[in-house]
Structure 1
Amino acid sequence: MSFTWRYVVSPDGSFYRVANVNGSLDAVSDEDLAQLHPEKNEDASPPRRCSRCGTELLLHWHGPLMTRVWMELCPTCDARRPAAWAFIQWYRDPDRDPADLPQLFEAWETETMHAHGWTRVPQPEAPPSSPVPSHLVPRGHG
């Protein structure tokens, strides 16, 4: 089973991601994915403030499942963290390239989770091939 994320980015920089298990969403366009996510009314709730300094957050996100980490992207507190700073720059750039989002987000997520004591386990590559039975190994090699 393979697992990746599909990111859908709005022109204002807001985005969401959808689990793409076994490539099931590979043939779905970004426009079709965007229709699955209703527009939320940002005016309905006040902007979130950084829990560390009170500055308005650029982004707030739940960390990976069961970690109970609330991730905050604060332009004041996170300016010295390399992955966060790169993400802040992308987020503020009106000419941002949506194709950069997956790498920037995942680097920020990794950096933030590391600061909370978590480490990302690398995804396994292809499953290992089954070993050759010993009776099929050429002589002198087994």
Structure 2
Amino acid sequence: MSFTWRYVVRPDGAFCRIGNLDGSLDNVGDEELARLHPVRDEDKQPARPCSRCDGDVLLHWHGPLMTGEWMELCPACDAHRPAARAFIHWYRDADRDPKKLPSLFEDWETETMHAQGWARTPQPDAPPSPPAPLSLVPRGQG
């Protein structure tokens, strides 16, 4: 079983990510995926101050499942962290490239969770393919 994320980026920079179990969404185009996951009122994040400096945050996000952690992207508090800084630049860029979001988000998530004492476990390698079947022929006929 494999698991990856698919990201939907809207023109205003808002985005969501959808679990892609065993590649079930691999053949779904970005526009169709956006239609399947429209913006709902409950998706809108209320403005909230940074828990560290009371300044404005660009994004707040629940940490990975079962961690109970809360992640904030604050330009004032996080500009010194490489992954956060790159994500801040992308987030503020009017010409943001949606294709860069997955790696920027995941790097920021990893960096943020590491700062809170968590480490990402390596993904297991794909199981090896079974060996090709042998073609057996009687001795002297091959």
> Do both proteins adopt the same fold according to a TM-score greater than 0.5, normalized to the shorter chain?
yes
What's 2:11 paired with?
Answer: 11
Q: Give the AA of the match of 1:88.
A: I
Structure 1 residue 45: deviation in Å?
A: 6.8
Give the distance between the partners of 1:110 and 1:119, measured in 2 at CA: 7
Structure 1 residue 72: deviation in Å?
A: 0.3
Give the distance between the partners of 1:109 and 1:82, measured in 2 at CA: 12
Displaced runs of 4 or more, over 4 A: none
Q: Give the AA of the match of 1:52.
A: R
What's 2:25 paired with?
Answer: 25
Q: Give the AA of the match of 2:51.
A: S
Q: Give the AA of the match of 2:77.
A: C
How many residues were matched structurally?
Answer: 129
CA 1:45–1:12 in structure 2 vs 1: closer, same or farther (change >3 Å)? Answer: closer
Give the distance between the partners of 2:60 and 2:2, measured in 1 at CA: 27
Structural mapping, 1:45-124, within 5 Å: 46-124=46-124
Q: Give the AA of the match of 1:111.
A: E
Give the distance between the partners of 1:113 and 1:61, measured in 2 at CA: 11
Give the distance between the partners of 1:34 and 1:40, measured in 2 at CA: 12
What's 2:138 paired with?
Answer: none
Give the distance between the partners of 1:127 and 1:115, measured in 2 at CA: 32
Give the distance between the partners of 1:92 and 1:123, measured in 2 at CA: 31
CA offsets per residue over residues 27-56 of structure 1, 9 Å max, x none? 1111121122232459x8741210111111
TM-score, with length taken from structure 1: 0.84
Q: Give the AA of the match of 2:109.
A: E
Structure 1 residue 94: deviation in Å?
A: 0.5
> Cα RMSD between the aligned structures?
1.8
What's 1:139 paired with?
Answer: none
CA 1:24–1:40 in structure 2 vs 1: closer, same or farther (change >3 Å)? Answer: same
* Helix, strand or coil at the partner of 2:33: helix
Gaps of 5+ in 1: 131-142
Gaps of 5+ in 2: 131-142
CA offsets per residue over residues 68-90 of structure 1, 9 Å max, x none? 00000000000100000000000
